Structure 1
């Protein structure tokens, strides 16, 4: 371009000169194009090099931060080493070459420990794999940048080349430690991954072997198991060593489980504290209001708030721990049974108090016996003795016949359950069925104690709800704004079903056949099936409906935190109950999330949703317009906040309080006493008056005084009446204005604004009463229409005529 600017114009006449000029221009253009292309290529290479260097630096910085916050290699390596050392001790007593009689409990505990170790190692393996994968990706990315050809294209200018080479050398020096660290960690974590894979494989092998031994053991569980040779280990085993080794394995089982599910343990304890706080505040409120006698035996939940919280939370939250070991269950049941024992002091009569204490003691003893993992003749005698004690206890309770004194009559069923199971245990022990006898022994005692704990869990919950509905007539912050009117005064029916099902599982877990049935059912539900081209499993469909059910249930449970108030009269109160107005949005969000999670968890392809949406679109076009209109109108009400739950509204001349805004309709408590269910579309399309958001309700009263009255005095008296009433707003200020000379009086209009809509009628009544009182005291006449009758005597034989003449109320003449 610069060369072209210097070219002179061609001569105007000579043709040869023009041709030379054109050739000159073409030559210059060709040279300029070549220079421009070269410059463009240089600029492109420069920008590309700049991008590569920037990406290299950014990745280098990320790798540094990643490595600084990386995994603790030595800790993981030590954990692997510790687990490897524990394996022989865990396998103690499971080798058929050293033991002629296996026990179901020992195989179960060993399997459980291996599963817990496997869970811990899988968690560590996931972290290691993620870390190693990040290292490899970073190394690959840095190497890919280093292999870019554009990075090694140097400028033609020597000075620029020198600067660029210096920049590359600086980057190389800066990145070298990172590259060395990546190589080091890459090799290190390759070794660590190999070690993790090896120990995980070994653990899976041990678990499979132990499960195979459990299966073989339970296939012969009805055969005679007691060795006949008195020199066998069954007869010569040191009982003290049995206790020590069993305790060591059970302790490992518990510690690994607590570590694996530490978060749930924390939640469990937090729920106990929250429940204790709830019951403590409930007790204080009951004492303060004196509406209940907290010393009444029927309200023992208030006597011991903390102990009651332990029983309640243990009662239902124990089912949220996945596959807990027996020792974990035993500790939680121990804490709950001791708490319930302290609650029973002074509540049960002496006989049933002794019954409960004895039941807890034999239950705790049977639990300790169940933790003995290595069989011996001493343990056989212990099992027989404890079974005999249970049978005698059962017969004694039945002989005494004091079941009519029970606070919970259903406890009788658990007593019979325990007695029958202990009788079966004793018979099986005599017949030499060691393992099965032990299972029936423990199941019998677990059944009675856990059954009573669950019965009292429900009873304590019902007591707490009944008291709360009586002493809390409105929602308060100290009880998390729970609406007890919606929650109810007793546990829902599904809660009883849940606890019954849970009790069956807790008792059944003592038998291998029960776990096999559960496994068979699980396999049946999880097996894949085909309908046409669609692949599914019953378990997936079950998960789908369960998640939907849970999401709907959560959506409904949210309503217990929504207000069901009387009329809201202030902005503070309106803010306090505003959650009820947003409840529709929260419910829609919960159900929508539940729907998508249900599809994702069940494995149903999300592209199937498009088919459903297409069918739904057709349905909307054909007959669901009204439903969609109401749903959208509900969303508009929730977003615009033109009306909230608790607002006093008027629709078509009828007033009421907004109770809730639902999916399709809103509920309004009418002042007449009825409940109106109004489609949301009508609330949007029709005129809706909101008295809560206004400045109060206007009241106008016309008061007449007699002609000749002192109007200044009347005005003073009326202002005095208005100033005395605190229900009347100061702004806008009330007005007292004479408005008309009527036939019988001078009319004075009194205009005021009432703070609370509900006080409208009472303010008007009090205003008229007080006005009449002060006017009488000050000799001010309130006139009323009068008629004067004139009676005239006329000659006989003629009709009598009566003439009426309207007169002024002040004229009292008659003729």
Structure 2
């Protein structure tokens, strides 16, 4: 571009001038023309790609419809409170407001960018260089094609930016309107929730014995409106599920991993010919194709992935879970217990269905009272009978007691005209009961999956093959129980409309700074300090499993393991302590004061403990013994089973476990039979008759001993005469064997073999 101008300019490219205040050279003209082209190309490229508003345009009508449905229902609940729907609206409005707020921010940025583009477009019309080109005939003739192209691009860019500005402005108006409407409705929901808290214990209806059963036209209209609102509520739940579909992708991934892992373990165990391990009582709910078990896992943990899910959404998941549990119990529970389960499910359906009635009349109130009585009877039956069939039966028994109490309270509130809180208590109680049963099945399935993993690992021979299943299962059961309790409390308190208050109260309790003297701390930091110490202690306790340490090793099966395991445990404890100190938030100068006080305590009364701790460290580096050694200390003989931080354990030949402080191991006389090797010289005593058979007896004894694989061949056995007379001879055999752990077995075998050989040669042994 501009080659003709360069040819005409000749040697002087700066001599060309134009009318106007600024001088225009060919070089500056070319640069300016290039800038104009680049700017217009950039604007046209951006506007041709468009702005990412498709999702907003598609979802905004649905949000507007949902907001209108919520507004209509809130007008309905101005007269009668429905706490579960109010809770659902609270969560959904917060979710919609968050989406709308994000859209507003994005639209604002789009609008800002378009306005900037528009300003650049307007600047072109005032550009002094463009005016000079138009005014200069020579330049205008040479650059006419470029000017036409620039004008074409400018017109295209101007039209595109104007079109996008109009579109974005219109969308901004719709999003902003919905955003402020969501804010308004959210405030109304918060007010009604507060009204429920204040009004719930107040008298809403006549006492049951005073209710004459009258039902006015307003109540009929209200019930009709409530029935019509159910369709809208379904659309709202569908919106919530669609906007949280990413959670279900995670659930699907977890379910697939669980499904194929369990299936693989079933195949491995069956292939090894150990199908008996897959039968009750080991496996109760899982199968080779664990469809039902996988769904139980997914539906139970789904609530953890969305802590603020609306109650109606949780009820929907609960309904699916009940169907799956019914399928599981059909073949695995005895017929009578399964009928009891069906009765509980029917009771749940009747209770939740009754709670949907907006204006209960006398008949409905009496029906609610009947359901409460049936619930109390059911709860008592579970408390005394059904809980035994579940893995976490104690939890079910506790919740069944809560179930009975809340139904008694609901019946009393119904009698005295407190219908709102009576409905809340009834639905929360039955939902909590069924949830805890589902969670106990969840615990059972997880433990069964862990059992399959352990058995499969033993067959495959991995690191986990050395784990003690019962001990690990016990720890896993405790962890799962805590998890179940937390999840149950979250859902139960949400149903009672006190979760947020409890959460805020606990959060305030543990996060509020407290000052003692010049030290500032929070209860949360202190709690975190002890939790980290607990975790580090548990970790050092179980870390031995990864080095072949098991609690089910018998006396003759303890393997040699490095005492470096003690060092690793010590490092874990020290690291845990340092991390706990850092997490506590306490300044180091305060910690030094505590350590100083600890030093005084050591000087006064902790000498023995510190002595044992230091002795444990010395054992690490000096290594006078290691795990698996056969030692004798304090009059006790046995194998070293564990070297701990403060004390060590040894297993005697009788099977008793003896705990020996580490200080005693260093200060007392310690005999280690296997420090450098496992060899030991053992003795056998023989008395033979007659004395004349001595040469043959010696030959037989030495022949039998020399033929044993247990002895050390490099050291010849010694057979000595201890006493002799005309009737018999006493002999002592001294022989070195390879393994001290096999001493008793070697003696037993030798005595039997020698006795038989001597008897065959008519020599008596006593």
Aligned residues: 623
Distance, in Å, in 2 between the alignment partners of 1:688 and 1:332 is 65
Distance, in Å, in 1 between the alignment partners of 2:101 and 2:697 is 91
Residue 642 to residue 656, structure 1, CA distance change in 2 (3 Å): same
Shift of residue 443, structure 1, vs aligned partner = 0.9
Shift of residue 608, structure 1, vs aligned partner = 3.1
Partner of 2:307: 323
Distance, in Å, in 1 between the alignment partners of 2:382 and 2:179 is 59
Structure 1 residue 669 and structure 2 residue 651: aligned?
yes
Shift of residue 689, structure 1, vs aligned partner = 0.9
Structure 1 residue 105 and structure 2 residue 84: aligned?
yes
Distance, in Å, in 1 between the alignment partners of 2:545 and 2:102 is 38
Is the 1:315–1:454 contact (alpha carbons within 8 Å) kept by the matching residues of 2? no
Is the 1:734–1:750 contact (alpha carbons within 8 Å) kept by the matching residues of 2? no
Is the 2:629–2:639 contact (alpha carbons within 8 Å) kept by the matching residues of 1? yes
Residue 767 to residue 394, structure 1, CA distance change in 2 (3 Å): closer
Is the 1:465–1:490 contact (alpha carbons within 8 Å) kept by the matching residues of 2? no
Of residues 686-695 and 416-425 in structure 1, the stretch that sits farther from structure 2 once superposed is 416-425
Q: Which secondary structure does the structure 2 equivalent of 1:666 belong to?
A: strand
Is the 2:424–2:496 contact (alpha carbons within 8 Å) kept by the matching residues of 1? yes
Partner of 1:697: 680
Deviations 1:188-216 (A, max 9, x none): xxx9xxx9xx9999899986675455334
Is the 2:722–2:731 contact (alpha carbons within 8 Å) kept by the matching residues of 1? no
Picking from 635, 639, 644, the partner of 1:657 is 639
Shift of residue 413, structure 1, vs aligned partner = 7.8
For residues 249-264 of structure 1, the aligned pairs below 5 Å read 249-254=236-241, 256=243, 259=246
Shift of residue 644, structure 1, vs aligned partner = 4.2
For residues 286-365 of structure 1, the aligned pairs below 5 Å read 299=281, 301-302=283-284, 304=286, 323-325=307-309, 326=311, 329-330=314-315, 333-334=318-319, 337-345=322-330, 350-363=335-348
Distance, in Å, in 1 between the alignment partners of 2:101 and 2:537 is 34
Q: Which secondary structure does the structure 2 equivalent of 1:691 belong to?
A: coil
Distance, in Å, in 2 between the alignment partners of 1:449 and 1:559 is 40
Partner of 1:531: 516
TM-score by length of 2: 0.61
Deviations 1:6-33 (A, max 9, x none): xxxxxxxxxxxxxxxxxxxxxxxxxxxx
Picking from 747, 762, 777, the partner of 2:745 is 762
Partner of 1:153: none
Deviations 1:479-511 (A, max 9, x none): 653325646879988987876676455323212
Distance, in Å, in 1 between the alignment partners of 2:625 and 2:51 is 60
Distance, in Å, in 2 between the alignment partners of 1:250 and 1:82 is 18
Q: Which secondary structure does the structure 2 equivalent of 1:574 belong to?
A: coil
Distance, in Å, in 1 between the alignment partners of 2:75 and 2:512 is 38
Distance, in Å, in 2 between the alignment partners of 1:275 and 1:352 is 27
Distance, in Å, in 2 between the alignment partners of 1:214 and 1:661 is 60
Distance, in Å, in 2 between the alignment partners of 1:399 and 1:715 is 81
Residue 369 to residue 124, structure 1, CA distance change in 2 (3 Å): farther
Shift of residue 709, structure 1, vs aligned partner = 7.1
Is the 1:647–1:690 contact (alpha carbons within 8 Å) kept by the matching residues of 2? yes
Shift of residue 667, structure 1, vs aligned partner = 1.4
Of residues 318-327 and 672-681 in structure 1, the stretch that sits farther from structure 2 once superposed is 318-327
Distance, in Å, in 2 between the alignment partners of 1:214 and 1:651 is 72
Distance, in Å, in 2 between the alignment partners of 1:741 and 1:420 is 85
Partner of 1:60: none
Distance, in Å, in 1 between the alignment partners of 2:363 and 2:51 is 44
Shift of residue 312, structure 1, vs aligned partner = 9.1
Shift of residue 666, structure 1, vs aligned partner = 0.7
Is the 1:568–1:646 contact (alpha carbons within 8 Å) kept by the matching residues of 2? no
Shift of residue 314, structure 1, vs aligned partner = 7.9
Distance, in Å, in 2 between the alignment partners of 1:399 and 1:541 is 41
Q: Which has the higher contact order (CA 8 A, sep 6+)?
A: 2
Is the 1:633–1:684 contact (alpha carbons within 8 Å) kept by the matching residues of 2? yes
Picking from 549, 563, 568, the partner of 2:550 is 563
Residue 739 to residue 537, structure 1, CA distance change in 2 (3 Å): closer
Is the 2:637–2:652 contact (alpha carbons within 8 Å) kept by the matching residues of 1? yes
Picking from 751, 754, 757, the partner of 1:771 is 754
Partner of 1:171: none
Q: Which secondary structure does the structure 2 equivalent of 1:345 belong to?
A: helix
Deviations 1:47-101 (A, max 9, x none): xxxxxxxxxxxxxxxxxxxxxxxxxx99998778878776545534444897342
Partner of 1:481: 466
For residues 69-148 of structure 1, the aligned pairs below 5 Å read 87-89=63-65, 91-95=67-71, 99-101=75-77, 103-113=82-92
Residue 116 to residue 96, structure 1, CA distance change in 2 (3 Å): closer
Distance, in Å, in 1 between the alignment partners of 2:242 and 2:705 is 76
Picking from 495, 519, 543, the partner of 2:504 is 519
Residue 762 to residue 300, structure 1, CA distance change in 2 (3 Å): closer
Partner of 2:559: 574
Structure 1 residue 544 and structure 2 residue 523: aligned?
no
Is the 1:462–1:489 contact (alpha carbons within 8 Å) kept by the matching residues of 2? no
Structure 1 residue 390 and structure 2 residue 371: aligned?
yes
Distance, in Å, in 1 between the alignment partners of 2:336 and 2:698 is 82
Q: Which secondary structure does the structure 1 equivalent of 2:495 belong to?
A: coil
Residue 708 to residue 697, structure 1, CA distance change in 2 (3 Å): same
Shift of residue 359, structure 1, vs aligned partner = 1.9
Structure 1 residue 613 and structure 2 residue 595: aligned?
yes
Partner of 2:705: 722
Deviations 1:251-291 (A, max 9, x none): 4434555636976885687678878989999999997789x
Q: Which secondary structure does the structure 2 equivalent of 1:247 belong to?
A: helix
Structure 1 residue 247 and structure 2 residue 234: aligned?
yes
Shift of residue 722, structure 1, vs aligned partner = 3.3
Of residues 638-647 and 759-768 in structure 1, the stretch that sits farther from structure 2 once superposed is 638-647
Distance, in Å, in 2 between the alignment partners of 1:334 and 1:97 is 24
Distance, in Å, in 2 between the alignment partners of 1:352 and 1:667 is 48
Distance, in Å, in 1 between the alignment partners of 2:447 and 2:239 is 39
Shift of residue 344, structure 1, vs aligned partner = 3.6
Name the Cα RMSD after superposition.
Answer: 6.2
Shift of residue 357, structure 1, vs aligned partner = 1.3
Shift of residue 395, structure 1, vs aligned partner = 7.8
Residue 235 to residue 748, structure 1, CA distance change in 2 (3 Å): closer
Partner of 2:716: 735
Distance, in Å, in 1 between the alignment partners of 2:677 and 2:532 is 44
Shift of residue 679, structure 1, vs aligned partner = 1.8
Deviations 1:274-331 (A, max 9, x none): 78989999999997789xx956xxx385465659966996899688556252356446
Shift of residue 449, structure 1, vs aligned partner = 1.5
Shift of residue 121, structure 1, vs aligned partner = 11
Shift of residue 233, structure 1, vs aligned partner = 7.6
Distance, in Å, in 2 between the alignment partners of 1:589 and 1:739 is 54
Is the 2:680–2:737 contact (alpha carbons within 8 Å) kept by the matching residues of 1? yes
Of residues 211-220 and 559-568 in structure 1, the stretch that sits farther from structure 2 once superposed is 559-568
Distance, in Å, in 2 between the alignment partners of 1:122 and 1:637 is 64
Deviations 1:443-497 (A, max 9, x none): 1321332344456677889999999999x99998596533256468799889878
Distance, in Å, in 1 between the alignment partners of 2:363 and 2:463 is 52
Larger Rg: 1
Is the 2:295–2:324 contact (alpha carbons within 8 Å) kept by the matching residues of 1? yes
User: What residue ranges of structure 1 are gaps of 5+ in the alignment?
Assistant: 1-72, 126-190, 785-815
Structure 1 residue 627 and structure 2 residue 642: aligned?
no
Q: Which secondary structure does the structure 2 equivalent of 1:354 belong to?
A: helix
Q: Which secondary structure does the structure 2 equivalent of 1:91 belong to?
A: helix
